[in-house]
Amino acid sequence: MSNRKPAGGFFMRDTAWHPPALTPQYKTSVARSPSRALLSMPQTMSEVTGPVFGHNILGDLDNDLILNYSQDGTSAIGPRIIVYGRVVDENGRGVPGALVEVWQANAGGHYRHAKEGYIAPLDPNFGGCGRVITDDDGGYEFRTIQPGPYPWPNRVNDWRPAHIHFSIFGDGFAQRLITQMYFEGDPMIWQCPIVDTVPSREGIETLVATLDMAATLPMDARVYKFDIVLRGRRATIFENRMEGT
C-alpha cells in the first residue's frame, strides 16, 4: 500500500470534560459504571490503528433519512432538515474518511425498535438510520426530519430534548466516539438528566447544532450545522524512536 504512513499517538483524553461514569441523575449509570479508576496505559499499534471504510460501501440514499426507508416513495413525515458540518480533530484538521452513523426517533418521538414503548405512532416511511463518510476536508451532510422529544423512564416525568445520536469512527480505534446532537434554542436541553451528565455548560453547548438560515433551502428544508471534534494526534517523527536504533 503506497499511501501508508505511521500514525502518531492520540492526545490524552480529557476525562474531566466528558461525563463521569457514575451520574446518579441518570439512574441506569448507577449499576453500569465501573467503580475502579480507568487504568492509564501507553498507546500501542492496537490503539492508534483502525479500519478504513471506503465510500463504496455507501448506497445512494444512505444519508437521506427522508427517503431511505420509504415504502412507497413518499417522504417521511416531519419538519425537513439538513444537518451538515465537519469532523475535525483537536488540531482543527478535517478527518477524511470518517464513518458517521446517525439514528433518531421520528417526528413524534417514537423509535422503530422492538423495545420502544411510547404511545406516539410509527411513521411507515421512516426507519431512523443514516450514514455518511466524510470527504477530503472532513465534511459531511445528511437529510432527515427533525425528531420529536420523548418521555423516558428515569424519574417519573423526564423527557429527552429532540436529538440525533451520532457514532463517529475516525482513523484509530482509541478515537471511537458516540455522542448526541441537540437543536439550538430548545429549552428542554437544560432539563435533561442525560445532557446533564456532561460536566460543563461549555461542553454541552458544543453538542448544540446551530440553525444556519443562510444555507436553508428555500421552500424546502432548514439547515443545521454540527461540527464534531475527535481526539487529535501527535505528529512528530521522534515518537517511538528508540535510542540507538
Q: Considering 93, 112, 165, 222, which one is annotated as catalytic?
A: 165
**SS3 string of 210-227?**
EECHHHCECCCEEEEECC
CA 157 from chain centre, in angstroms, equals 26
Among 76, 198, 209, 221, binds other proteins (CB under 8 A): 198
Integer Cα distance of 32 and 226 in angstroms: 29
- Give the footprint of other proteins on residues 145-184 (CB under 8 A): 165, 167, 171-174, 176-180
112 noted as active-site residue: no
Contact string 9-48 vs other proteins (x = CB under 8 A)? -x--xxx-xxxxx-x--x-xxxxxxxxx-xxxxxxxxxxx
Specify the DSSP element, H or E, that contains 29. Answer: helix 29-32
Using the Cα atoms of residue 30, residue 14, residue 232 and residue 240 in order, give the sign of their dihedral.
negative
Least distance between other proteins and beta carbon 112 (Å) = 6
26 noted as active-site residue: no
Nearer to other proteins by Cβ, of 31 and 213: the residue is 31
18 noted as active-site residue: no
Q: How many residues bind other proteins (CB under 8 A)?
A: 94
Q: Which of 85, 82, 84, 103 is nearest to 94 (CA)?
A: 85
Q: Considering 150, 182, 224, 233, which one is annotated as catalytic?
A: 150
Q: Known catalytic residues?
A: 111, 150, 160, 163, 165
